[in-house]
Structure 1
């Protein structure tokens, strides 16, 4: 499995564990609490309840299953888009940690064909920097419109994006580009 797979697992499992441990507690309500994943999502989501958070974790698990069966990652909704970004950040952390430390638990994970691209990103890059490396150019504007239109309304983050945006696969083309 790749570092991207590990990143997706860390995000999905982190959201699930945050939800199991804290239920409906708003993120940031107690500054002494350390969150595994929910605090990395936009602040508009921090007051969402356990039901919404379980849906978020389920979308992460869906992305993991898609990767496990060899499918390409597709942003079918804003949640997928946000999970992709957080997973890339977590994967980048895994890559840097694993490659620099032979005792790192992820040192044995084989590289994903796109792993080499992430070193080009600034550590705290805005979403657009990720997009230029991860999504086909014809999908970026549509993703940004969906993101901007719903960023303050997390209840709409699960609404379908039409057409869904496909992450770039090995060779630099998305499945959507290959069909054109």
Structure 2
């Protein structure tokens, strides 16, 4: 009977009733290892064969804890530290799919811990001061002046100037703050036409990204920080994935818009001038391997996002939002353990 009600091979659109995804986070502290393992085995659990166990878990504590989570919820010798859940209604119209048919990784963000928030009280350690504004004049020293304008003169080559780097870094930092704020508020809800640009960065992205979840959006915020970090270290911003390419395109547009207010910023005005200042067209030319990610603004991809063409996506696999954070093979990757700023 259950197979008729909910066939295991059915896709989300084939199921007549609502489908709810519940993801559970549990953490256990094993304070008495032998006692806990004995209790699990007494309940019917068997550890994995020795040749299949990882070197850091030779007794299969992970397997025993998973057995406890699936059965009694706890065992003698272990304490339950964390129990959190996240749930969402899966909707075909939003591009959702049941896990067994999903083309994208399932990610859930449980947020920061409540104890961490509690620790940030008036009685806790004072917050660290913000890092000083980067000295872009020192980070991007200007070449000696040359006005020969000869075609092969290396001294006349375009350079990333302190003033250009300053505005570009400011744009990336603003994008990062906006993305972190909006990801926290928007969570897993889709962006829609009715939002009318409410969601800053995410409303500006191609429509094929509008159904992404909170964790994906936080990854985009981190991409802003990563590119700003390149500049703060005195390097050209070098996109390592499609997400960073899209962010850098947005930042170049925003940096150009900042020109109208840059004369009011004493830090910017104090930077040395150069003929290549604020040449954002050159930034678009030199910072990217290609501009393929901008194809996603084409209306044909918006139509596939809206469910035309029989529901089949026209977006090339290399530009699917689920692949945006996959590292380019010809660029050194970012540190995998760098985490998130907030």
Q: Which residue of 2 aligns with 1:135?
A: 287
2:268: which partner in 1? 109
Aligned residues: 146
Bigger relative CO (Cα 8 Å, ≥ 6 apart): 1
SS in 1 for 2:258: helix
For the pair shown, which has the larger CA radius of gyration, 1 or 2?
Answer: 2
Structure 2: runs of 5 or more not aligned: 1-133, 135-165, 297-315, 333-342
* Alignment-derived partner of residue 323 in structure 2: 156
Residues 145/21 of structure 1: CA separation in 2 closer, same or farther (3 Å cut):
closer
Q: Please, what TM-score do these two structures have when normalized by structure 2? A: 0.38
> CA offsets per residue over residues 112-154 of structure 1, 9 Å max, x none?
9754213xx5xxxxxxx9632x337xx33xx538977457510
Structure 1 SS opposite 2:329: strand
Q: CA deviation at 1:87?
A: 0.6
Contact 1:3 1:94 in 2 (8 A): yes
Residue 48 (str. 1) matches residue 212 (str. 2): yes
Query: 4+ residue runs of structure 1 moved beyond 2 angstroms?
Result: 29-33, 96-99, 106-116, 129-132, 143-152
Deviation at 1:39, TM superposition (A): 1.0
Distance 1:145-1:10 versus aligned 2 partners, 3 A rule:
closer
Q: 2:338: which partner in 1?
A: none
Match for 2:172 among 4, 8, 21?
Answer: 8
Structure with the higher helix share, 1 or 2: 1
C-alpha deviation, 1:81, in angstroms: 0.6
Please say if 1:144 is aligned against 2:292.
yes
How large is the Cα RMSD of the aligned pairs?
3.1
Cα separation, partners in 2 of 1:96 and 1:44, compared to 1, 3 Å: same
| Partner residue, 2:250 | 86
Matches within 5 A, 1:14-53: 14-28=178-192, 30-31=194-195, 34-53=198-217
CA distance in structure 1 between the aligned counterparts of 2:194 and 2:186, rounded to whole angstroms: 11
Question: Does the Cα contact within 8 Å between 2:183 and 2:218 map onto a contact in 1?
Answer: yes
Structure 2 vs 1, CA of residues 35 and 47 (structure 1 numbering), >3 Å: closer, same or farther? same
SS in 2 for 1:162: coil
- SS in structure 2 opposite 1:25? coil
SS at match of 1:164: coil
- Which residues of structure 1 form unaligned runs of 5+? 122-128, 166-180
Residues 147 and 156 of structure 1, relative CA distance in 2, 3 Å threshold = farther
Indicate how the Cα distance of structure 1 residues 130 and 45 shifts in structure 2: closer, same or farther if over 3 A, else same.
farther
